Amino acid sequence: MRRRRAPNTRCWRYWGRVAAGPADARSYKGQDRALRADRLGTAGLLLSVLAASAPLMVVAGVMPTTFGVMGIVGQPLLFVILGAVLALFSIGYAEMSRHVHNAGAFYAYIARGLGPTAGAGASLVALVAYSAMQVGVYGILGFEISGLFATYLDTELAWWIPALAAVALTGGLGWLKIDLNAKVLGVLLIIEVLLVVVFDLAALGKPGPEGLSLHAFNPETLTGAGLGTALCFCIAAFVGFEQSPVYAEETSKPHIVVSRVMFLAVGFVALFFALSAWALTVATGPGEVVKASAEAGPGLLFQLTESRLGTTFTDVLHVLFVSGMFAAMLSFHNVVSRYAFAMGREGLLPAAFGRTNAGTGAPATGSLLQTVVSVVVVLAFAFTDDMPVGDPTAPVLHLFTWMGSVGALGVTLLMATASFAVIAFFVRRGTAGAQVWRLVAAGLAGVALLAIAVYTVRDFGVLVGAEEGSALSWALPGIIAAAVVVGLVYGLVLRSTRPEVHARIGLGNEAFRLDQAAESTPGD
């Protein structure tokens, strides 16, 4: 009979005692320190992670920027290529999710594969990257709401007022049950998708002067100096699918649901955005899409719907544009609060972050942290932005673009590192032979994602619209570099000063079981 392998060699002598009987992590020292299980099924989890991709915001904001600023006509093909890369990534990532259930997802996987110190570095990168992406959306949301007030109510409203209101509402929802959040996200997402599909059909039904051209899928359309920045913008549109493992502890049958949702999300996003980007090229004509996007910017989609679907549809689209951004913010907020929870549970953050709300099971302290960070950043941009006073484009050009780009770079690096961590995890367990095709897929994805990250850093000045020689070209990606360095140093310090905490990084609920086993066997 084959001898059973211990789940983790870092559990020391406590593991044998713990494995003999499950311990209830919620009852540890009388504290509710575990996320509530069985709150999400396949549909709820899928809607939660897809909401982060903000379909309407991508079609109205990201796509015209990629066409107009980067000059990449082949954006539809780019989504297909990135979809293939991320599908390769998901093969190993999904397999890892069957073995490790932890709200810390990225950093937990990296810790289990590359060691606790690497996990500590990844935890801080994840916290910074997802926080940056969420805070960045507040800028474009404030800008859009301010525009709606000016258009329909003839009222001037500073962008940061609705932005702060959104921070408060998002923070409040972050304290509620995740299944309730999933319902809110699901309704908003479905409406968004339906509206974009209506536009796609209208564009294909009434094409521009070049007809139903497939030129945008020609590989020759991917040439140009803006390819690196286009890659970063487009990969940011996929962000959300990789969040599935974050909710593993709150799903029913996580070993099945998490991987299923991941592949469904990647496939949907790749297909949906490729078709929508193609519809934009058809509506304007592939030869004119770069010029039209440069002139209209985020207004391109609304101009095209105005001429094809009328004023009423366009007005509804403006309103749903706001609700879609709100759904993305709530999705990112839920992820950040769960990362903070996982870090608090394992000792990377103060213990208060590792506790949940007794009534809802939500990671309340992590939610509060993200709310406070959002308020501080929004106010900082409101009072220090160097755009001319009263210029409504400031939050879009600075807060949204800068923070979104920083977040996209961080997530890309995390995915690349996680790919190599998957390989190391199964090699260290001695099961690489049985997983060889998954490990090959993970290796290919890791190399591709690393190349995208290098391209992004090289062209970061273009990505954020900085002038040549501007300090922003290195200062903004430096935020992620600083998070890596600080996290790694912190991990090394923990290894020297608190080895028991260092050894628990990435263990999740297993960390509680170790503590309980240790306390129940005095004298060891």
Mean pLDDT of the region 426-452: 89
Say what the pLDDT of residue 358 is: 66
From the CA atom positions of the chain, what is the Rg in Å? 23
Ramachandran area for residue 34 (φ above 0: left; ψ -120 to 50: alpha; else beta): beta
DSSP for 189-222, please give it.
HHHHHHHHHHHHHHHHHS--TT-S--GGG-GGGG
As a whole number of Å, the end-to-end CA separation of the chain is 31
Stronger pLDDT, 15 or 364, i.e. the higher one? 364
Determine the Cα–Cα distance for residues 262 and 259; give it in Å rounded to an integer: 5
Say what the pLDDT of residue 40 is: 63
Determine the Cα–Cα distance for residues 363 and 349; give it in Å rounded to an integer: 13
Q: Tens digits of per-residue pLDDT, 204-243?
A: 999 988 889 999 999 988 876 677 778 888 888 888 787 7
Contacts (Cβ under 8 Å, ≥6 apart) of 461: 467, 468, 470, 472, 473
DSSP for 232-253, please give it.
HHHHHHHTTGGGGGGGGGGBSS
Q: Tens digits of per-residue pLDDT, 355-384?
A: 776 666 667 788 888 899 999 999 988 887
Q: Tens digits of per-residue pLDDT, 148-201?
A: 888 888 888 888 899 999 999 888 877 765 555 567 777 778 888 899 999 999
Confidence of residue 79 (pLDDT cuts 50, 70, 90): very high
Amino acid sitting at position 69: V
Res. 62: pLDDT tops 90: no
- C-alpha distances (whole Å) from 431 to each of 106, 115, 119 are 21, 18, 22
Phi then psi for residue 251, to 5 deg, are -105, 160
- Beta carbons of 65 and 57 less than 8 angstroms apart: no
Say what the pLDDT of residue 132 is: 92
Contacts (Cβ under 8 Å, ≥6 apart) of 17: 517, 520, 521
Ramachandran area for residue 465 (φ above 0: left; ψ -120 to 50: alpha; else beta): left
251: which strand partners?
40
Say what the pLDDT of residue 20 is: 31
Instruction: Point out the least confidently predicted range of 271-280, 303-312, 324-333.
Output: 324-333
Determine the Cα–Cα distance for residues 1 and 238; give it in Å rounded to an integer: 45
Q: What is the pTM of this model?
A: 0.83
Whose tokens are 């309704």? That residue is 187
